[in-house]
Amino acid sequence: MLRRSERIKKTKASNTTTTLRRKPQIRSRQSMYHPRRREDTFLCEPCATIFSEISVRGLFRAPEQGIVIRDSISSTKTETCSMCHFIERNLESYGTPNGEAAEIRLFSSRKSFFWLYQKYKKDVETVPLLAVVPKGLFAQKETPKDLIRTCISEFLMPAYSDPSSTSISSNKVLEQELNLEFINKCVSYCEDHHACRRLQNSYKGSILLYDYKRQKKILRSLPCKYIALSYVCGEDSPITDSSPQVIADVVKVAEMLKIDYIWVDTLCINPERLQEQLNSMHFIYKNAYLTVVDGAGHNIHHGLYGVSRPRTGKQTRIRVNSQLWLSTLNNPQLLIECSTWMTRRWTYQEAVGSARLLIFTEEQVYFECKGMRSWESLHIPLDSHHRKDRKACPDSLQEPIFCQITKQPEEYFDLEDFPRYIKEYTKRFMTEDHYALNAIKGVLVCLESKRNYVYSFWGLPLLSAGEASEFPVALLTGMAWTLGPRNINESPIPITRNNLFPSWTWAGWHGAVTSFGLTSLNHYANRTSIRIQEKKGSEDSLSWQEFWNKLGGMQMNRQMTWSAGFGSSTQTQPYDYPWIDLETGVFEVKLAYFDEPRLVEVIDCIALSGFKIMPPDERSFPTHIDFPEDDLELHHHNKIEVCQQFWKCVMLGYQPEIGSRREKTFPMVILLKPRKECEGYERVWGGRLAWFDGWDKVVEITNERVRLY
């Protein structure tokens, strides 16, 4: 068995006061708003009065941020009261053990929950929701919708025994048992109505799967129903003779769903055909009937919550008269976004490629496809929450975790998506740097096969086949990316170099791509030419057009050539190829070091301390730059020497003001550093200069040839 660590180790990597109706308004279907009966032992008296003040009629007039029904919370807790425990747990999650810093709010599902529940839809029922909320939450700048989704820990809502087709309801989540009815309902609805099925069955060929009943690998023709597994391998997690727990658990899930085959990398990848199968990774997940995700695990031995591990969520149960209320537990999207799995580059490609995701969190299961999202603790009437054609949920519903376009899921790859995929991918981490392009290769290859195709060169986007083959402007466009620090637990990780790849591609860096900065209309294209090293170790070069023509143009099989940036998976030494000769506009700049932040930047308003590219005139502004942390020559301890030098900048294009394409505002440049090893340069920064139109009248721009490594 090929160990995953040998193949693709998935890496470490303001209050509103409202007069409430004391007399409850009783719904005809349920009697749930009376104060508790004396024999009820679930609520203490103070908590029982909370439920007596709920009025459905009042909810129709409730603002989006809800109604305050307790502007402070007593610190006195009754041990047997479920509501007291719910309040205490939420106060702890907010880090505010003092109840004076929180309040209890009543929300309307139609008004406040519309990121899940379609906003103001007339034929859906209004359902009350209770939540503990930090005081001052809705005084922040964010919209109430975003604050409710991201800042409120959990809600209490009714659990109807027989919910109507237009009402949401809470569901009971068992500690050690999956809700198969929920899973089957989501998958079946998607299978019957969404375009995900066409996406899933779009690839023909054969695939090596694992038949867990016969405990053997088997080659099957596609389409074929199988479950794919996405998980975090974990650093130094050896695979023992016994089956790793996460694999044993996905077998149990497959048995429950009556699916005969699974695909797991450690079982199904042939090491002798490694690169070929890495090329197909996107299609493997795309064609899976369902992708099971261990969204809470840290390694291959962890296992799935609800299968081999008891779930950690404590679901509050409160009975008021005959009506049961249940807590929704934490929003699973937020749990997933904070998971180790979400920080990995390999798992990003697996998730984006999958037609359907079933993600196991610590507390419950979450389902997401190209058309809808749902989770185990909530009953959502799917028909009433879909468009009339049932192909997808309306845009007013919650956003998916991943960046798929849900309107036309079978066509979600196109030109506009390329930057989003690269931005999301580079935010994540991996330990084996030589896989920087392989781990996103499936997405890049798939982008080339769509109607609005985008080809790539070492991970850089090329606008179209025609432009790429005829004009060097296509590659200049691809080079117009900017880089920023990645974050772990909201702490920035400095930018560093990945010397296994050239400096002119984002794959040669540890950092997050923040933008691709040029369109096809504002390039610096006059007298620009590009020549590319013909082969490794050679001093010969080809023009851009000659290069593509020699290798078959855009239709060449770049999966097997180094020129696409996908070298041997065993390549762990720094790449010394290919260099690129650019003949284009070049000018020199001076740097300054600011020890204290200053109000100097036109875009960010408040500048950071550090190095700045100084402007050529009084109209323009200094531009902050982030040098790689591991380049000691560019460290702030060496700031005097750095600021005494002149630095070359390569012109890529401009950002003219709207409606004035002739202006040369905000030039997009690459800042160069000379190489010591040989004649040539490396990119050390790229981005827009905060320079206004007219700067080129005071700066000397010469047409030069520079060699980029």
Structure tokens given for 17: 């006061």
Q: 519 or 636: which carries more pLDDT confidence? A: 636
Q: Is it the case that residue 468 has pLDDT exceeding 70? A: no
Band of pLDDT at residue 498, cut at 50, 70 and 90: very high
What is the distance between the alpha carbons of residues 172 and 170, in angstroms, rounded to a whole number? 7
Phi–psi pair at 629, nearest 5 degrees: -65, -30
Name the band, by pLDDT with cuts 50, 70 and 90, for residue 621. Answer: very high
pLDDT value at position 450?
59
Encode pLDDT of 379-408 as tens digits. Answer: 888 877 777 777 776 654 455 676 444 334
Q: What mean pLDDT comes out for the span 662-675?
A: 87
Q: What share of the chain is helix, strand, coil (3-state, %, to 5)?
A: 25, 25, 50
pLDDT of residue 123: 58
Whether 30 shows a pLDDT value over 60: the answer reads no
Using CA atoms, how far residue 272 sits from 205, 267, 277, 280, in Å, is 19, 14, 10, 15
Of 286 and 166, the structure prediction assigns the larger pLDDT to 286
pLDDT of residue 178: 94
Mean pLDDT of 551-555: 53
What are the structure tokens assigned to 340, written together? 């180790």
Per-residue pLDDT, 426: 94
Residue 659 — left, alpha, or beta (φ > 0 → left; ψ -120 to 50 → alpha)? left
Indicate whether 310 pLDDT > 70: yes
| Strand 647-653 relative to strand 580-589, pairing | antiparallel
What's phi and psi for 677, nearest 5 deg?
-70, -35
Amino acid of residue 398: Q
CA dihedral 237, 239, 245, 248 (to 10 degrees): 150
What residues contact 436, with CB distance under 8 A and at least 6 apart? 345, 430, 459, 498, 500, 501, 507
Question: CA 278, CA 609: separation in Å to the nearest integer?
Answer: 43
H/E stretch holding 639: helix 639-644
Q: How much is the pLDDT for 101?
A: 86
The per-residue pLDDT for 561 is: 40
Q: What is the mean pLDDT of the chain?
A: 79
pLDDT at residue number 518: 62
Q: What is the mean pLDDT of residues 632-639?
A: 92
584 — phi, psi (to 5°)? -160, -170
Predicted confidence (pLDDT) at residue 235 exceeds the cutoff of 80 = no
Q: Give the predicted TM-score (pTM) of the model.
A: 0.84
pLDDT at position 576 is: 54
> How many alpha carbons fall within 13 Å on the CB side of residue 559?
16
Do 36 and 320 meet the contact criterion of CB atoms below 8 Å apart? yes
Q: Is the pLDDT of residue 626 over 50?
A: yes
575 has pLDDT over 70: no
Q: CA neighbours within 13 Å on the CB side: how many for 623? A: 24
- What does the alpha-carbon distance between residue 315 and residue 324 come to, in Å, rounded to a whole number? 12
Q: Is the pLDDT of residue 3 over 90?
A: no
**Region label for 662, one of left (φ > 0), alpha (ψ between -120 and 50) or beta (otherwise):** alpha
- Categorize the per-residue pLDDT at 163 as very low, low, confident or very high, splitting at 50, 70 and 90: confident
The first and second tokens of residue 286, run together, are: 């795309």
**What is the arithmetic mean of pLDDT over 264-269?**
91
The mean pLDDT of 221-239, rounded to a whole number, is: 84
Higher pLDDT, 199 or 404: 199
A 10 A CB-CB count for 633 gives 11
Q: Which of 74-88, 132-146, 385-399, 477-491 has the lowest mean pLDDT?
A: 385-399
Distance between CA 143 and CA 140 in Å, rounded? 8
Higher pLDDT, 241 or 342: 342
Residue 546 has a pLDDT of 80
pLDDT of 659: 54
Q: Are 115 and 148 in contact (CB under 8 A)?
A: yes
- Indicate the pLDDT class of residue 515, thresholds 50, 70 and 90: confident
Residues 283/352, Cβ–Cβ less than 8 Å? no
pLDDT of residue 459: 87
DSSP code of residue 35: P
| Rounded distance between C-alpha atoms, residue 12 and residue 119, angstroms | 40
Mean pLDDT of 109-131: 69
CA distance 86 to 96: 14
The confidence score (pLDDT) of residue 452 equals 60
Residues 6 or more apart in contact with residue 601 via CB below 8 angstroms? 607, 621, 622, 623, 624, 690
Share of the chain above pLDDT 70, in %: 76
Q: What is the pLDDT of residues 411-463, one digit of tens each?
A: 344 456 778 889 889 999 998 888 898 888 878 877 776 556 677 888 888 76
Backbone φ and ψ for 292, nearest 5 degrees, come out as -90, 130
Please compute the mean of the pLDDT values over residues 297-309 and round it to a whole number.
94
Q: Report whether pLDDT(694) > 60.
A: yes
pLDDT computed for residue 325 by the predictor = 94
pLDDT at 2 over 50: no
Higher pLDDT, 665 or 624: 624
User: Which pLDDT score is estimated for 578?
Assistant: 80
Position 9, amino acid: K
For residue 150, pLDDT beyond 90 = no
d(CA 393, CA 207): 32
- pLDDT (average), residues 139-159: 85
Phi/psi for 624 (5° steps) reads: -70, 140
β-strands 491-493, 486-488 pairing? antiparallel
- Band (251; pLDDT cuts 50, 70, 90): very high
For 156, the 3-state DSSP assignment is strand
39: confidence class by pLDDT, cuts 50, 70, 90:
very low
Instruction: Name the amino acid, one letter, at 423.
Output: K
pLDDT higher than 90, residue 8: no
Please report the pLDDT score of residue 196 as a whole number: 83
Using DSSP's 3-state secondary structure scheme, residue 85 falls into helix
The listed range with the strongest mean pLDDT (69-78, 336-345, 398-407) is 336-345
Neighbours of 458 (CB within 10 A): 22
